[in-house]
Structure 1
């Protein structure tokens, strides 16, 4: 079975800095929940942004959904089929109400108002968020914003999910709810997370990113050896 997303030989450096990615190869296969581990500044978020064309590497290739992706136009389709949940929900939620934020993506995909209304209702119900439908988005709690951000991405019915530190600032209730949601989804996903308990709960495979290169599973475990799992 071919990978959904594959990168090879990816090299990237921010202006005036040394390489943050130095020949990265990575593949995501259908049904996988791949966890990406690494210290702060290792390039995990950078790699996710390269996968959807938000950053352009200086070398290497990105193949997504069976096609090489080189130009900005190539990545338009990728961003429709791979939903990106940013580390900070405030970077992603900008509409006045929850329902409008969830509706924004499907409307931009050309869905009719009637179709979008059904998608919004179904998505909020599936995530048990219907009670937030008419709430002002910027007044939500951090955990509520996180789940609404995920709802806004799922409303676009992506084939792949890219999640950047999705457990940041979550209390135990929203933390466990997020685990329940993610483990029940059919989408393949790449999840950046420092949290070993979370990775163990949702992941099917883990790789580590350190000094610009991906490591094996055992090396990935050592990257986060100082971080203890949450108590059960």
Structure 2
């Protein structure tokens, strides 16, 4: 096969990630994972399974005890490597307050494009366009810390999208959203031309926004085809094994 016909490398790949906080069981235990171009993955698992820790390791914000992370086929080894990765992969934190730090909404959303080297006028235009896409026009001069939880969530997402990333890692993006805003977010995500991974306990949301379901359990991620979301709203982690549904 010629090189021109070779499939593109994964956007993100984890090989053998292992991590445990001191004195605790391993949250990642030889974990492998691949996000390919065009994929939209839902990641489920019980509270404390290590899903957020996994995202932090992918972004170079937490150093695993073992394992490797690759971005577009190249291993990220140094802080400079991960800094380059973070310029192209957007992370939405579980808590929006961890992501918002400027006095006003416009300053927060403009911060990323400015860091990418956009001139101030262009960065402002990018921020305004992104806010408009999220139906947040008119929020520009709002004081960030006075926003509601759902509003902060959308502004944090605007900060990520303003960076025009190749891929997104979204940690519980529907947390704090009212039903109308949640539906709007579904439409926004389905219209984005990027790959993403969504951590969520909202199975209906994942059904409408992702095409592949993975489960994190015992320090590993299972993305096998037997994973599926059922209309009666629960997830099979081991769908190929005998099990009983209790009423």
TM bin, normalised by shorter chain, reads over 0.9
Shift of 1:203: 0.4
Rounded to whole Å, the distance in 1 between the matches of 2:153 and 2:211 is: 22
Rounded to whole Å, the distance in 2 between the matches of 1:166 and 1:127 is: 13
Equivalent residue for 1:142? Answer: 149
Alpha-carbon spacing, 1:102–1:28, altered in 2? closer, same or farther (3 Å): same
Q: Which has the higher helix share?
A: 1
Equivalent residue for 2:183? Answer: 176
Secondary structure of 1:218's match? coil
Rounded to whole Å, the distance in 1 between the matches of 2:143 and 2:75 is: 40
Shift of 1:23: 1.1
Q: Contact 1:38–1:224 at 8 Å: present in 2 too?
A: no
Equivalent residue for 2:109? Answer: 102
Any idea what the Cα deviations from partners look like across 1:135-166, whole Å, max 9, x if unmatched? Answer: 11111111111111111111111111010011
Secondary structure of 1:208's match? strand
Q: Contact 1:207–1:217 at 8 Å: present in 2 too?
A: no
Secondary structure of 1:24's match? strand
Q: List aligned pairs for 1:1-232, cutoff 5 A.
A: 1=7, 2-215=9-222, 216-218=224-226, 221-223=235-237
Any idea what the Cα deviations from partners look like across 1:92-127, whole Å, max 9, x if unmatched? Answer: 111111100000111122211111121112111222
Any idea what the Cα deviations from partners look like across 1:1-55, whole Å, max 9, x if unmatched? Answer: 2211111111111112121111111100111111111001111001111111001
Q: Choose 1 or 2 for highest CA Rg.
A: 2
**211-220 or 80-89, larger mean C-alpha shift:** 211-220
Shift of 1:66: 2.2
Secondary structure of 1:78's match? helix
Q: Gapped runs of 5+ residues in structure 2? A: 1-6, 229-234, 240-247
Equivalent residue for 1:229? Answer: none
Q: Contact 1:36–1:206 at 8 Å: present in 2 too?
A: yes
Shift of 1:224: 11
Q: Gapped runs of 5+ residues in structure 1? A: 226-232
Rounded to whole Å, the distance in 2 between the matches of 1:143 and 1:173 is: 11
Higher relative contact order (CA 8 A, sep 6+): 1
**Alignment size in residue pairs:** 225
Alpha-carbon spacing, 1:111–1:101, altered in 2? closer, same or farther (3 Å): same
Q: Give the TM-score of the pair, scaled to structure 2.
A: 0.87
Secondary structure of 2:226's match? helix
Secondary structure of 2:138's match? helix
